[in-house]
Amino acid sequence: MSSAAAQRAGAELFAANCAICHGARGDGHGWRQESVVPPPANLTLPPWSERSEAARTFLAIRQGVPGTAMAAWPTLSDEQLWQLVAHIETLPQGR
């Protein structure tokens, strides 16, 4: 389980880097969603919402997701990526 500090830091990183596509709630409804094909992932649904998939989420952020607009984020540190994962795990599920 991640710390509250990691979750807060992840929320800040998410707002600055991810919400544009994934939306503030992580539901895939960011303001750029219309121009992204396929649409951004809804992070409130499995597999992204499952704690058991934390490593998969980490790698998706680090390496990007082939066949989608999800780019790799090599400029973020491992600590920042885990903070993002910690925040994603706090998103209300099933939106």
pLDDT in tens, 30-65: 998 888 899 999 999 999 888 899 999 999 999 999
In the chain, the domains with their CATH numbers are: 4-88 (1.10.760.10)
Structure tokens at 86: 């910690």
Whether residue 94 has pLDDT greater than 80: no
The fraction of the chain above a pLDDT of 90, given in percent, is 81
